[in-house]
Amino acid sequence: MRIRTIKPGFFKHELIADLAPLTRLLFVSLWCMADRRGRLEDRPRRIKVECLPFDDCDVDAMLWELHRAGFVDRYEVDGIELIQVVAFEKHQRVSGNESQTESEFPEKHSGSNREAPEKHQGSQEGKGVKEGKGKEKGKERGARAAFLPPTLDEWQAYCAETWSDWHPSRSQESHEYYAGVNWRVGAAKKQAEDWRACARTAHTNAVKWGNLNPIMPAPSMAEWLEFAGAFAAQNAPFPTEPRFIWPEDLAKAAFSRHKAANWLRISDWRSQAKADCREWVGREISNRQRPNR
């Protein structure tokens, strides 16, 4: 591997921006493997070990993406498969002893261009799933299409069409979550292949965790105590007493408990305050009906 330079314009190049992030990183890594003329052996397994050793990816498919996009040429001379980084000498200034050497690899000539195998012919546009995979054990798997994350509008439109019980404010939360982890899923944090599968997982979790309803503006402690006190005063369960007052310390404890849980599974805090009050009333009635011991 060699030391190379990267220009600020790389990050704003519109065609490069169309590539998946990991493919962009591979492209930069090829500069470090290439010789002074921008050539290197086309050995995907070796390239992966050198450039992306910790990533679960198909380097051969990514190289074909770079080839189709015009950033590299994959060609063959005398049975040797090679890669030429296009415009390498225009963007890299080679100095020192390396500048005095010549490339050990022959340049591309007419008729030496390689053709992508059938499994790598497809374009990445509009794809979020695998292009295919070998059915027999031991056969090489087909290339994965580059993952294109959905916009928030695409995500919410799909969710609205698929589930009527999932409020848009809640489905937006799941989109923000996946975007925050760069659409990496599972314990291994692998790149997602189908964002719709992410949506299905998110909806399943929303059902399990009670996060289908609209996001509720949380009350302040003062609002909670005022409402709870008024409700308790209007609901006197004991005929022999003028009215029942829900103890303020218990009301505060209920508020603190719900707040600590981020009001999980609560879509209407006023209904929850009523429920908490009724629960306490029920326990009081039960206690007062017990015979004295």
**20, 82, 94 from 100: Cα distances, Å:** 36, 22, 9
pLDDT tens, residue by residue, 62-77 = 999 999 888 999 998 8
With 60 as the cut, is the pLDDT of residue 2 above it? yes
**CA 50 remoteness from chain centre:** 26
Tokens of 46: 């070796």
Cβ neighbours of residue 154 under 8 Å, at least 6 residues apart?
none
pLDDT tens, residue by residue, 15-38 = 888 889 999 999 999 999 999 889
Q: What pTM did the predictor assign?
A: 0.41
List the domains of the chain with CATH numbers. 8-120 (1.10.10.10), 152-209 (no CATH), 221-289 (no CATH)
**H-state helical runs in 70-117:** 88-91
User: Which pLDDT score is estimated for 112?
Assistant: 67
With 90 as the cut, is the pLDDT of residue 143 above it? no
User: Which pLDDT score is estimated for 126?
Assistant: 38
The pairing of strands 80-85 and 190-191 is unpaired
pLDDT tens, residue by residue, 101-135 = 888 888 877 656 677 776 666 544 434 333 444 44
Cα 100 to Cα 210: distance, rounded to the nearest angstrom: 68
Torsion of CA 118, 123, 129, 132, to 10 degrees: 0
